[in-house]
Amino acid sequence: MIRAAFPRAICSLGILSGLSASALLAQASPPADLDAYVSAALDSFATPGAAVAIVKDGQVVHAKGYGVRRLGEPAPVDSHTLFQIASNTKAFTTAALAMLVDEGKLAWDDPVTKHLPWFQLSDPYVTRELTVRDLLVHRSGLGLGAGDLLWYHSDYPRDSIVRRIRHARVASSFRSEFAYDNVLYVVAGEVIPAVTGLSWEDFIRQRIFVPLGMREARVTAKGVRPGDNSASAHARVEGRLTAVARDTFDATNAAGGVVAGVSDLAKWMLVQLDSGRVRGSTTGASSGPVPPLWSTERTAEMWSGQTIQPINELGPSLAGYRPMFLLYGLGWDLRDYRGRKLVTHTGGLDGMTSRTLLVPEARLGIVVLTNGESPLSTAVAWRVLDHYLGVPPTNWVARMAEFVRAREAEAREIERKAAGSRRRDSRPSLPLARYAARYSDQMYGDVTIVRQNGRLVLRFSHSPALTGDLEHWQYDTFVARWRQRNIPDAYVTFALGPDGSIETMKMAAVSPLADFSYDFQDLLFRPAQAADNRSEP
């Protein structure tokens, strides 16, 4: 779940009101109560640890950790503690491409197939017309999170993921709707080696991390070693906060692979706010100043709206958070708050959520990293934002906690109604042994169902975490109770043909709160023999 948000409504959630430039620039110091505010937020959102950095007017004015790296252990979070920043990585990928645009090695509106001739989507027209820009702005016509199960908890290599996405079904017409996408950022990352001969990882490391002096940051979670100063991931599992397995994928690093602490991310925010310029030598070398990483023209492009995003209704508790406009740029969300343009993004993976927030007009940058699943990063960032805008502070922790409670209550009611309408006296149409077979989806590949100890067990062939016991729900629908319990349960429904044979198997998440990366609904499984007749080897 290289998420853009937690939940998406919270993180893309302002009102316009006039503020004088003097109020905007009135203070450089962080809020006096920031430490207490973050500590209270950790308690309110049951999050073990967080780290916060603030840059203002070209200086780092705050970089500090709070809480602990792992629940039940004493090691504290500090400004160097490594967190997975998930979709905040996307800005690194777009910056890398911007550098290549400056060098004349590509153009934003180059067809993708100019650099990756083998690339395909399901629609030949879209394949032909899709540009590098289109890879970055979530308007391809694919559905929300399309193809995420190709990488999420999966062992598929990168080339398999980017080739298999051609089987993803179209959800809307080309360039007509916003639908957040991770896999096309993986494709964007593959443009870099096609143009430079350097992998995405080597380019980011050599061309961004080294000149900025980001010595501790990693380009992949697999670069984090035992004993490193790193945060563990945490989530609520069956109502109890617990440490969960960290996602350690390599295949989708261009969409969400960076691991960093706030000390290094402060340097990243400074270069963003200074349009690619690196002030002073951060590398420790004596060879003189570092040349700009990219031009002011590229900054303007990355911070310009490309795709209109829908604005969600958030309820009365967050009325002051709702923007007047919401766009997606190149790797950044663009929105307003109290008359100011914000350049921001969020990130989320299992047990990790984060927020980066830039206010170019104020030369202000805020990053908040957490080792839990909550809107804590947004609540803290907005408290800091209010301080620097010189407006009366809002208790964003309380407001967002109220919003989360309301959403959770709505979800429980939906699940309660579903359970209430369940026909518990119904039976499967077939003996359990008849459901045990190999099934195949054209995009994902194979899953198997086997009968063990009198019950059915579902296993995704490339995703060991997606192993679940099937509990009969009603008729020919079962519920997959995944053995890795932080993965949300899913309905599994079989459709039979006139002769009683199984024709298809479909899936859908049980909870409306399930992250969009669990795109079970996009999969259509057929018994393997039928699927083999439809698919390539």
Higher-pLDDT residue of 6 and 505 is 505
Q: Is the pLDDT of residue 294 over 90?
A: yes
Q: Is the pLDDT of residue 116 over 70?
A: yes
What is the rounded average pLDDT for all residues in the chain?
A: 92
Give 280's pLDDT tier (boundaries 50, 70, 90).
low
* Longest CA span, the chain: 78
Q: Is the pLDDT of residue 53 over 80?
A: yes
Give 246's pLDDT tier (boundaries 50, 70, 90).
confident
Interacting residues of 42 by C-beta distance below 8 A, sequence separation 6+: 48, 49, 50, 66, 67, 376
Instruction: Tally Cβ neighbours within 10 Å of residue 315.
Output: 14
The 10 Å CB-count burial string (b at 16+, else e) for 172-207 is eebbebbbbbbbbbbbbbbbbbebbeebbbebbbeb
Alpha carbon separation from 224 to 220, 235, 248, 258, 358 (Å, rounded): 8, 20, 9, 11, 27
Element (DSSP H or E) covering residue 262: helix 262-273
Instruction: Judge whether 517 and 247 are in contact, CB under 8 Å.
Output: no
CA atoms within 13 A on the CB side of 257: 27
Tell me the per-residue pLDDT of 358-384, one tens digit each, with 9 for 90 and over: 999 999 999 999 999 999 999 999 999
Residue 488 and residue 484: Cα distance in Å, rounded? 9
Tell me the per-residue pLDDT of 1-37, one tens digit each, with 9 for 90 and over: 454 444 444 443 322 233 344 444 446 899 999 999 9
Residue 495 and residue 153: Cα distance in Å, rounded? 27
Say how many residues make up the chain.
Answer: 537
Nearest to 306 by CA among 473, 133, 165: 133
Q: Tokens at residue 172, please?
A: 């809307």
| Dihedral sign from CA coordinates of 26, 398, 3, 324 | negative
Which range (11-20, 225-234, 410-419, 518-527) has the least confidence?
11-20
Higher-pLDDT residue of 315 and 193 is 193
Instruction: Judge whether 252 and 2 are in contact, CB under 8 Å.
Output: yes
Q: Is the pLDDT of residue 535 over 50?
A: no
Q: Tokens at residue 318, please?
A: 């967050």
Residue 361 and residue 378: Cα distance in Å, rounded? 20
Nearest to 262 by CA among 368, 355, 353: 368
| Dihedral sign from CA coordinates of 185, 187, 193, 196 | negative
In this prediction, residues 265-293 reach a mean pLDDT of 82
Determine phi and psi for 59, rounding to 5 degrees: -130, 150
Residue 372: its pLDDT value, please? 97
Give 287's pLDDT tier (boundaries 50, 70, 90).
low
Residue 529: its pLDDT value, please? 76
How far does CA 83 lie from the centroid of its chain?
14
Nearest to 133 by CA among 175, 173, 105, 79: 175
Residue 66: its pLDDT value, please? 98
Tell me the per-residue pLDDT of 151-181, one tens digit each, with 9 for 90 and over: 998 999 999 999 999 999 999 999 999 999 9
Residue 27: its pLDDT value, please? 63
Burial of 162 (0-12, 13-18, 19+ CB in 10 A): buried
How far does CA 399 lie from the centroid of its chain?
23
Tell me the per-residue pLDDT of 75-89, one tens digit each, with 9 for 90 and over: 999 999 999 999 999
In this prediction, residues 463-490 reach a mean pLDDT of 96
Which stretches within 276-369 are classed as H helix? 296-302
**3 state DSSP class of 420:** helix
Name the residue type at position 214: M
Residue 5: its pLDDT value, please? 44
Residue 431 and residue 357: Cα distance in Å, rounded? 55
Instruction: Judge whether 372 and 364 are in contact, CB under 8 Å.
Output: no
Residue 9: its pLDDT value, please? 43
- SS3 letters across 55-96: EECCEEEEEEEEEECCCCCCCECCCCCEEECHHHHHHHHHHH
Nearest to 42 by CA among 14, 82, 69: 69
Residue 444 and residue 165: Cα distance in Å, rounded? 9
Burial of 394 (0-12, 13-18, 19+ CB in 10 A): middle
Residue 167: its pLDDT value, please? 97
Task: Supply the pTM of this predicted model.
Answer: 0.92
Residue 530: its pLDDT value, please? 54
The 10 Å CB-count burial string (b at 16+, else e) for 522-533 is bbbbbbbebbee
Instruction: Judge whether 51 and 64 are in contact, CB under 8 Å.
Output: yes
Residue 356 and residue 106: Cα distance in Å, rounded? 27
In this prediction, residues 373-397 reach a mean pLDDT of 96
In this prediction, residues 100-121 reach a mean pLDDT of 98
Residue 405 and residue 374: Cα distance in Å, rounded? 11
Residue 87 and residue 378: Cα distance in Å, rounded? 14
Residue 245: its pLDDT value, please? 87
Domains and CATH numbers, the chain: 8-87+229-280+290-409 (3.40.710.10), 432-532 (2.40.128.600)
Instruction: Tally Cβ neighbours within 10 Å of residue 362.
Output: 18
